[in-house]
Structure 1
Amino acid sequence: MLANVLNVLTKSESSKLRHVTVQTGTKHYMGPIFDPFLSTQLSPPDPPFLEDAPCVPFPNFYYELEDLVASYAPKVSHSIHRCSIIFGASTRSAYNYLLTFSVYAEICKYERAPFRYPGNQYTWEHLCDVTDARVLAEQQAWAATTEGARNERFNCTNGDVFTWKRMWKLLSEVFEVEYVPFDEGDGKFDWVSVMRGKGHVWDRIVEEKGLFGSKMEEIICFAAVNTALNIGFELVSSMNKSKDFGFFGYADTPTSAKYWVMRLRELNIIP
């Protein structure tokens, strides 16, 4: 699809296309973590992830996208932006982690169920990073308008790290649910199965609270979040290259989380 678009735009005599921005993500380094078979064979590089890390030997269309946009040089420049988990506000992104947590928390509150952490001991205790949607947008605009940053690949995160142990406590406060510390002795919590049948509960919440008309299955993805919270390595990317090239955008992740939950409420997506 991208090739079809670029072929049309670059062949037009009147085309003013000068730069293409490609947004990918940390699966560039991790490989197909959502594939039930290939994910068992993955051995990602040691964190923090660096832009010059070699491609992992598994199918990944990110690599093809990068090669494709590079083939249009020098007529059209490009920039690659490898973001982490994105914190933002949208009803059009099922991979929106904050919205998934929000829906989960509201269902727990509605049913008076514990707000349990669905990940493993490793992710609970080890470091992770995320990307504020505003930082990502700023970096993309910067790369497209900064001569020295064109035709380069950049990681994009908030620039800080956290543990889900600390983040879960913050989310519990934001969503006004009881904080439940993770306890491996409680047994594996299969929240994907538990939440699969909760669409009717979300329908009631939407109706009773007068929220934006959304179906739970259309705005969240428990399975995708579940995978990210049950990995066995630290999800951390280096922002050094970005800073070396002159981009210093950052966000405080706890503040970012609170801001985007507030935006979801302002947009009447969650109560």
Structure 2
Amino acid sequence: MPRLPYPNFYYALEDLSASYSQSLTYSVHRSSIIIGASSRSFDNIFLTLFVYATICHDECLPFRYPGSKYTWEHFCDLSDARVLAEQQIWAVVTDNAKNHAFNCTNGDVFTWKSLWKALCEVFDVELVPFDENEKFSWVGMMKEKGRAWDEIVEKYGLYKTNMGEIVCFEAVNAILHFEFQNVCSMNKSREFGFWGYANTLKSIGMWVRRYRDVKNTLNYQIMNGHVIFSLEEWNQ
């Protein structure tokens, strides 16, 4: 599609890269909502949802969907960080991919209804039926949970974080109120030979386990001054 008719930082980066194309090659990777296991990404959408689910579980609160009926029922897609990295490496070593732009998503779609069910299973919280007439101030409620998060960190020996530094409630709230289906085509990537993909719903549990592994590693770093793995943890 043609560029939108207003300045965009990404356009500037693309133009800068293209201006050096006689001496180097480049590629552009346009992701959807990225899911990964970064512990310090302020715009990490799923870390925000994981914190929300953890607080609901610990305080026996209903894990209510804070979005709209439209997003609850309509399609969306995600970009698994593993797929994004795989595509970037592929583009570097594939001649016909040089100097091209590619969408990068998991290659499947989901509804937030199905993804919310997956989150409930992973965090052992009850799936609350969505009721569009039942409004609640999710952002305001969660912004008051800083002390609750501190208590959870202390209670379970988590890596010490300030909740305000790892969540982005406003960004998540905006995504969950999209008035369009956020779905990107991977046709160009496939035509050029990239077939990387991830099963979005199955990946949720994997990334939660990855966060738990990071917690174990970071605790050892703090306790001993350097990383020490027990054989059992290494095998896991």
TM-score (norm 1): 0.78
**1:221 paired to 2:221:** no
Distance in 2, matches of 1:178 and 1:94, equals: 27
**1:243 paired to 2:170:** no
Q: Which residue of 2 aligns with 1:159?
A: 107
Q: Which residue of 1 aligns with 2:23?
A: 75
Cα deviations by residue, 1:128-156 (Å, 9 ceiling, x for unpaired): 00011100000000001111101000000
**Count of matched residue positions in the alignment of Structure 1 and Structure 2:** 216
Distance in 2, matches of 1:58 and 1:206, equals: 44
Amino acid at match of 2:188: K
User: Deviation at 1:57?
Assistant: 2.4
* Stretch of structure 1 that moved more, 87-96 or 77-86: 87-96
Distance in 2, matches of 1:97 and 1:75, equals: 37
**1:264 paired to 2:211:** yes
Which stretches of structure 1, 4 residues or longer, exceed 2 Å deviation after superposition? Answer: none
Q: Which residue of 2 aligns with 1:4?
A: none
Distance in 2, matches of 1:193 and 1:127, equals: 27
Distance in 2, matches of 1:119 and 1:63, equals: 31
User: Deviation at 1:125?
Assistant: 0.4
> What are the equivalent positions in structure 2 for 1:49-198 lying under 5 Å apart?
53-187=1-135, 189-198=136-145
In structure 2, do the counterparts of structure 1 residues 58 and 227 end up closer, same or farther at CA, with 3 Å as the change threshold? farther
Instruction: Provide the secondary structure at the position in 1 that maps to 2:215.
Output: coil
Distance in 1, matches of 2:102 and 2:197, equals: 14
Amino acid at match of 2:111: T
Distance in 2, matches of 1:180 and 1:132, equals: 26
Distance in 2, matches of 1:163 and 1:58, equals: 31
Instruction: Provide the secondary structure at the position in 1 that maps to 2:61.
Output: coil
Distance in 2, matches of 1:68 and 1:236, equals: 28
Instruction: Provide the secondary structure at the position in 1 that maps to 2:47.
Output: helix
More helix by share: 2
Percent identical pairs in the alignment equals 59
Amino acid at match of 1:179: L
User: Deviation at 1:190?
Assistant: 2.2
User: Deviation at 1:234?
Assistant: 0.4
* Conservation of the 8 A alpha-carbon contact between 1:120 and 1:230: yes
Q: 2:150 aligns with which of 196, 203, 206?
A: 203
User: Deviation at 1:55?
Assistant: 1.5
User: Deviation at 1:124?
Assistant: 0.4
Distance in 2, matches of 1:130 and 1:58, equals: 26
Instruction: Provide the secondary structure at the position in 1 that maps to 2:34.
Output: strand
User: Deviation at 1:237?
Assistant: 0.3
Cα deviations by residue, 1:217-255 (Å, 9 ceiling, x for unpaired): 111111111111101000000000000001000011111
Distance in 2, matches of 1:190 and 1:80, equals: 38
Distance in 2, matches of 1:63 and 1:119, equals: 31
TM-score (norm 2): 0.89
Cα RMSD, aligned residues only: 1.1
Amino acid at match of 1:61: F
Distance in 1, matches of 2:204 and 2:68, equals: 21
Distance in 1, matches of 2:87 and 2:161, equals: 31
> What are the equivalent positions in structure 2 for 1:21-40 lying under 5 Å apart?
none
- Structure 2 unaligned runs (5+)? 217-236
